[in-house]
Structure 1
Amino acid sequence: MGALTIALLVSGGVGAHADELDDRKIEVEQNLDHLNEDMEVLDDDIKETDSKLRGLQAQLPAAEQALADAQGRVSRAADEAADLARRVQVARETRDQLNVKIAEGKVKLEDSKQIIGQIATEAYKRGGVSSDLSLLLNASADGNLAAGMDLADQAMRSQNAALDSLSEQSATDANAKLRLAAVEEEITDLKSAADAALVREQVARDDAEEKKQSLDGIISQTDALSAELLAQRPRIQEKLRVKEAEQVQINGQIKERQERLIREEAERKAKAAAAERKRIAEEKAKWEREEAARAKEAREEAARQKKKNSYVKPKYVAPAPQAAPQERSSWGLIRPVSGGRQTSGFGWRPTPAGTIDYGGRGGYVHAGVDWGFGGQCGSPVKASADGEVWMAGWGGSSGNKVTVSHGVVKGKALATNYHHMQRVVVNVGQHVKQGQVVGYVGTTGNSTGCHMHFETIINGAAVNPLGLL
C-alpha cells in the first residue's frame, strides 16, 4: 500500500547553517528509507524520474556544504588580504613619518653645523681663543674683564651645545635611517605576502563560483524533474482512484465473508445452546419418568408391606451445562517473516513538506506494516495463525497475495493479508497451521523493493498489525 510522496527540492539559502544541512540530510534519508511504500502506485517512467530526483536530492547537502566551505575560504582569504593591506599601509605611514623626521633632522644638523662654522670662522679670524679674550669676545670699550670672561664662558657653552646637538642629531639620523631600511624591507615582504593573499582569494572565489554553479545545476535539474512529476499527477490520481476502488472491493469481499463467519458462529452457538437446552429437557423428562416409576414401585412395595408410604419425592436438579471452550486471552498471531527491517508503519501520514501530494488530500493511509530485506527476495512468509486460505494468487497492485481467515477470535472475525510475494505455495480452501510457509518475499505488483506488506483485517476493516502481534 504505497505512499503518495515524491521528494522535491527543499532548497536552502547559500551557505546554510550546519543544523539546516543536518535536517536536510535526515529528510533525504527518510525519503529513501520509505522507498518501498513511496513507489507502489507509480509507473516505471515515473519511478525512473523519481530515482533521478532522489539522487540529486542526496547530493544537495554535500553540494551546499561544499559551497559554504568555499565561501568560508573566500572570507578567510579576503580577511587575510585586507589585514596585509592594512599592515602595508601602516608600514608606509611609518616610512613617511621616518622620512619627515630624517628631513627635519637634516635641517637641524645643518643648523648645528652652521653655528659651529660661525664660531670656528670667528675664532679663525681672531687667531683662535687666547688669553686676549677681548679680541675674541669683542669686549666692551671700557675693557671690563669680568664681562669679557662671562662672554667667553657663554661662547664656550654655545660651542659645546652646538657640538652636542650635532652629535645627538647625527645619532638620531643614523637610527632613523636604520629603522627606515627595516620598514622598507617590511613593506617589501608585506607587499609580497599581500599579493600572494590576493591570488589565494581569487582562487577561492573561483572555487566558490564553481561550487555555486554545481549547486545551481543540481537545483535546475531538480526543478525540471519535479515539473515532470507534477505533470504526471492527473495520471497517478486516476491510478490511485482505481487502486482505492480495488482495495475497497477486496476489503468488501473480505468483510462480507467475515460477517458470514460471524453469523455462522452465532448460529452455531445458538444451535449449540438449543441442543443443550433440548438435552437438558430430555434428561429431565427421562428423570421424571424414572422417578415416577420409582415412586410407583415404592407405593406398590408399601402396599405389599402394608406400611405407610413415607417416600419423599426429591427435588429435580438439572445437570450442569457442558463448559464452552476457553477463549484465548490474546490474538495469538506471530510475525509473518523472520529478519528484515520495518520500513513502514500503519496509519495516516501527512505529505511531507516539499513533496508532491498526488492524492490531493494532504496525506495517505498506509494500511499495513512493511518489512524490507535490503533488495534481497526469497525469505519465507509464514501464516500468522491457523486458518483457511481464502485467496492465493495474483492480486493486482498487491502482486502475488495470500489472504488467510482465522475465523472468529474474541467475538470478531480476523483475517491476514500477505502482499507482493515472489511466489505463493498454498491454495484456496487449504487449511494452514501457524508458522506454515504460505509464500516467499518478493516485489511483485506495485513495488520497487523486496519487502513483505502485512495486513490484519478485523470485521472488514484494516487495523494496526503491531497491536495484534
Structure 2
Amino acid sequence: MRRRLRLPALLAAACLLVGVAVASPAVADEIDDRRKAAEQKAAANEKAQADAEAAMEGLDASLQATASRLLELQAQIPAAQARLDEAKAALEKAQREAAIIAARLVDAQEQQVTLSATIQQDTEQAEKMRAAIGQMAREAYRGGAEVSGVSVILDAESSEDFVERYGLVSTALRTQAQVLDALKAAEASNRNAQARLDAVEDRITELKAEADQKVVEADAARDAAEDAKATLDGLVAEQQAQQATLESQKAALASALAAMDAEAKAIENELRAAIDAQRARDAAAGKPAPAPGPVGSSLFGNPTSISPIYVTSEYGMRLHPTLGYVRLHAGIDLRTYCSTKVYAGRAGTVTWAKTRYGFGNQVMIDSGFVNGNAVSASYNHLTSFAVSSGQRVERGQLIGYSGNTGTSAACHLHFEVYVNGSTVNPRPLLGL
C-alpha cells in the first residue's frame, strides 16, 4: 500500500524543510547531465547492437535471442535509471514545496490566533470604556448639577471652594475626554485588526488549497518513482537472469563459433583449391599468371535493390558486448528487406549456389582474375536462389532474393569479397 501525504504530516515536516530552496540550478543541471549521459549511452548501445548482430553471425538462434535480449536490457537500463532519478527529484521537489507551504500555513494560523486574541482583548477593553462613560453619565445625571464654568463660579462659597470645584470639574472633563479618545483608538485598532484577520483567513484558505494540491503532486511523484523503480528492478533482474543463461551456454557458444570458423576456413580452402587448379591449367596451356598487382576499386556494382547502397555493419574485428568474444566480421552488411532482389555485383561464373553453415543460402561467384588476382564474391543469407552452379552471370543480373537464413539476426545481405582466397574489405571495391 502506498503511503499518502496528509496535511498534519506536512505541518510536522515544516520546521525541518522550510529553509530548503524549492529547486536549485545545481539539481536541474545534475538531472540534465544524467539525461544526456543516458542518451549517449543509448546511442552507444544502438551501435553495439548493430555490431553485435554482425558478430553473432554463426551463432544458433537460442544464443542469438539470449544475447540480443541482454543487449536490449543494457540499452534500456540507463534510460530506466534516468527516469527513476527524475521521478525521485520530482518527489523531493514536491515534498520541499509542500513543507514550505505547510510552514507558511503554520505562520498564518499563528497570526490568526494572535489577531483573534488581540481583537477579543480590544473588544473587552472597549466594553469597559463604554461602561465607564455610561457610569459617568449616570453619576452626573443623579447629581443633577450642571458641570460648567458658570456654575462652578456661582455656586462656590469661597475662593478655596472655587479652586476645589474647578479642579474636580477639570479632572472629570479630562478623564471623560481621555476615555472617549481611548475608546476611539480601541475601535480603530479593532477595525484594523479585523481587516488583517480577514486577509489572514483568506490566505489560510489559499494555503490549504495549495497544500492539498501538493499532496496530490507528491502522491503522483511517489507513484511515478515507485513505478520507475519497479521497472528498473525488473530490468536488472532480467539482465541477471539472461547473463546467467549465457554463462550456462558457454560450451554451446564455443562450439558454434568453432563450427562457423571451420565453415569459413572450408570456403577459403575450396576457393584456393579452385584458384590453384585454374592457375595450373593456365600454366599447362602456356598462359602463366602475371604477378599480382593492385586490385583497384569500384569493381562491383550495387548488389541490392536499395539505392544508394546503405551499409549497416562494416568489415572488421568485432568484440561482442555481451558474449565477450572477438572475431572477424569478414564482409559488409548491406540493407535489404526480406525477399527483395539481389543482383550480381560483377560478371562471372557461379561457383556454387547452396546452403552453407552459418551463411545460410549462399551464392559464390567467381569473377576471374583482376590484375593477377583471383576475385570472387559471396552473397549470403538469401531466401532463395535465381541461379545455379556453373551458370554464367552478368553484372546486375538477378541471382536471388534476400533473407534471414543461416545464423543471421535479421533480413540483410552479408556481402563478402575474396581476393586470392582471402576475404578483404568490400567497401572500396563497391566504390564506397
Q: Settle same-fold status: TM greater than 0.5.
A: yes
1:377 partnered with 2:339: yes
Equivalent residue of 1:405, what SS?
strand
Stretch moving more, 14-23 or 97-106: 14-23
| Cα separation, 2, equivalents of 1:367 and 1:396 | 15
Which residue in 2 is equivalent to 1:43?
A: 60
1:332 partnered with 2:350: no
Q: Which residue type is aligned with residue 63 of structure 2?
A: I
Stretch moving more, 248-257 or 223-232: 248-257
Which residue in 2 is equivalent to 1:411?
A: 372
1:362-402 Cα deviation digits (max 9, x unpaired): x332111112323x1252332x3233333332322222223
| Cα separation, 1, equivalents of 2:422 and 2:315 | 13
1:4-19 alignment runs, 5 A limit: 17-19=34-36
| Cα separation, 2, equivalents of 1:85 and 1:148 | 64
Q: 2:152 aligns with which of 121, 127, 133?
A: 133
The answer to whether the 8 A contact 1:368-1:465 is kept is: yes
Post-superposition offset of 1:88 = 1.3
1:189-211 Cα deviation digits (max 9, x unpaired): 53355245324423442343233
Which residue in 2 is equivalent to 1:345?
A: 314
The answer to whether the 8 A contact 2:31-2:86 is kept is: no
Q: Which residue type is aligned with residue 373 of structure 1?
A: T
Q: Which residue type is aligned with residue 333 of structure 1?
A: F
Q: Structure 1 residues 266, 165: closer, same or farther in 2, change over 3 A?
A: farther
| Cα separation, 1, equivalents of 2:400 and 2:199 | 89
Post-superposition offset of 1:47 = 3.4
Which residue in 1 is equivalent to 2:330?
A: 367
Equivalent residue of 2:358, what SS?
helix
Which residue in 1 is equivalent to 2:407?
A: 446
Q: Which residue type is aligned with residue 408 of structure 1?
A: F
1:201 partnered with 2:168: no
Q: 1:229 aligns with which of 241, 246, 249?
A: 246
The answer to whether the 8 A contact 1:258-1:414 is kept is: no
1:356 partnered with 2:318: no
Q: Which residue type is aligned with residue 127 of structure 1?
A: A
Post-superposition offset of 1:163 = 0.8
The answer to whether the 8 A contact 1:378-1:440 is kept is: yes
Long gaps (5+) in structure 1 = 1-12, 274-326
1:205-226 Cα deviation digits (max 9, x unpaired): 2343233223312321222122
1:320-341 Cα deviation digits (max 9, x unpaired): xxxxxxx997563222222274
Equivalent residue of 1:416, what SS?
strand
| Cα separation, 1, equivalents of 2:44 and 2:131 | 88
Q: Structure 1 residues 39, 117: closer, same or farther in 2, change over 3 A?
A: same
Equivalent residue of 1:446, what SS?
coil
Equivalent residue of 1:443, what SS?
coil
Q: 1:395 aligns with which of 356, 367, 384?
A: 356
Q: Which residue type is aligned with residue 129 of structure 1?
A: V
Q: Which residue type is aligned with residue 300 of structure 2?
A: L
Count residues with an aligned counterpart. Answer: 394
Q: Structure 1 residues 66, 140: closer, same or farther in 2, change over 3 A?
A: farther
Q: 2:208 aligns with which of 191, 205, 224?
A: 191
Q: 1:432 aligns with which of 379, 383, 393?
A: 393
Equivalent residue of 1:420, what SS?
strand
| Cα separation, 2, equivalents of 1:45 and 1:125 | 118
1:243-291 Cα deviation digits (max 9, x unpaired): 2133223223423443565677678787799xxxxxxxxxxxxxxxxxx
Which residue in 2 is equivalent to 1:456?
A: 417
Post-superposition offset of 1:468 = 1.1
Post-superposition offset of 1:100 = 4.2
The answer to whether the 8 A contact 1:15-1:67 is kept is: no
Q: Structure 1 residues 54, 270: closer, same or farther in 2, change over 3 A?
A: closer
Equivalent residue of 1:343, what SS?
strand
Long gaps (5+) in structure 2 = 1-29
Q: Say which one has the larger Rg.
A: 1
Q: Which residue type is aligned with residue 162 of structure 1?
A: V
